[in-house]
């Protein structure tokens, strides 16, 4: 079951490489959140109640409901679901992301570390590098934020791969930080939109 969920997670990464609409990005990030919710639920059933509630809150409530709704209301609805300009042709991104996923597989199987769970580790590394790739090739702040969210999802999977427990206070602090960082990023994207455009090329006034 978990393998299937991880494969679907990989497919969302490939779809993200060629997505052209803001809505598609948002929906895919929400789907990733949902997948993470199912994975965590299956994986962590044995945990104590508070940890479980906290992690489910992070995945289901925040990643699937609150953030996508917030992004939709504050960014997409206002700007009318603009198409995202692709600097690199879709087929190249498709190839790059496929290569990233392939090498993540290869890396995870080569590590032979008993501490890590190969499935999660593959998904995590693939998500982190896909997020970084999307940030590098896109020139709009909206897609940059999406890239950041993909990296966040990758880090979440990485923590599952390792299975190292952190104290509840630390988990709570991390959750609060991640949540507020996305909200604040969203608020500033909104401000940028009011000022000029959301194209990174316009943000070049600060220089020597």
Chain residues in the site for another protein (CB under 8 A): 113, 115-116, 128, 135, 141, 144-145, 148, 151-152, 155, 158-159, 162-167, 169-171, 173-174, 176-178, 180-181, 184-185, 188-189, 191-192, 195-196, 203, 205-206, 208
Give the whole-angstrom CA distance, residue 165 versus residue 190.
36
49 versus 206: smaller Cβ distance to another protein: 206
Q: How far is the CB of 144 from another protein (least distance, A)?
A: 6
Question: Which of 143, 153, 132, 199 minimizes the C-alpha distance to 21?
Answer: 143
In the bound complex, what is the minimum distance in angstroms from residue 181's beta carbon to another protein? 5
Give the integer Cα–Cα distance in Å for 76 and 200.
18
Residue 181, number of CB atoms within 10 A of its CB: 12
Q: How far is the CB of 111 from another protein (least distance, A)?
A: 9
**In the complex with another protein, which residue's Cβ is closer, 9 or 156?**
156
Give pairs for 171-177: CB < 8 Å, separation 24+: 171/51, 171/54, 171/55, 172/54, 175/54, 175/57, 175/58, 175/62
| Residue closer to another protein (CB basis): 26 or 152 | 152
């Amino acid at each position: 079951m978990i393998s299937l969920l991880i494969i679907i997670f990989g497919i969302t990464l490939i779809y993200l490489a060629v997505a052209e609409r803001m809505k598609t990005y948002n929906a895919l990030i929400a789907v990733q959140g949902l997948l993470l919710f199912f994975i965590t639920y299956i994986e962590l059933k044995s945990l104590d109640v508070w940890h479980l509630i906290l992690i489910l809150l992070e995945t289901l409530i925040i990643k699937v409901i609150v953030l996508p709704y917030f992004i939709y209301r504050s960014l997409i609805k206002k700007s009318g679901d603009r198409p995202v300009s692709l600097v690199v042709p879709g087929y190249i991104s498709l190839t790059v992301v496929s290569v990233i996923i392939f090498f993540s597989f290869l890396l995870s199987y080569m590590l032979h570390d008993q501490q890590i769970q190969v499935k999660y580790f593959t998904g995590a590394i693939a998500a982190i590098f896909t997020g970084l790739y999307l940030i590098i090739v896109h020139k709009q702040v909206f897609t940059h934020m999406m890239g950041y969210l993909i990296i966040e999802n990758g880090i979440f999977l990485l923590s599952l791969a390792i299975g190292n427990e952190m104290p509840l206070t630390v988990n709570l602090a991390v959750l609060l930080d991640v949540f507020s960082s996305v909200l604040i990023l969203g608020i500033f994207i909104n401000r940028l939109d009011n000022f000029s455009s959301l194209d990174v090329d316009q943000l070049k006034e600060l220089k020597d």
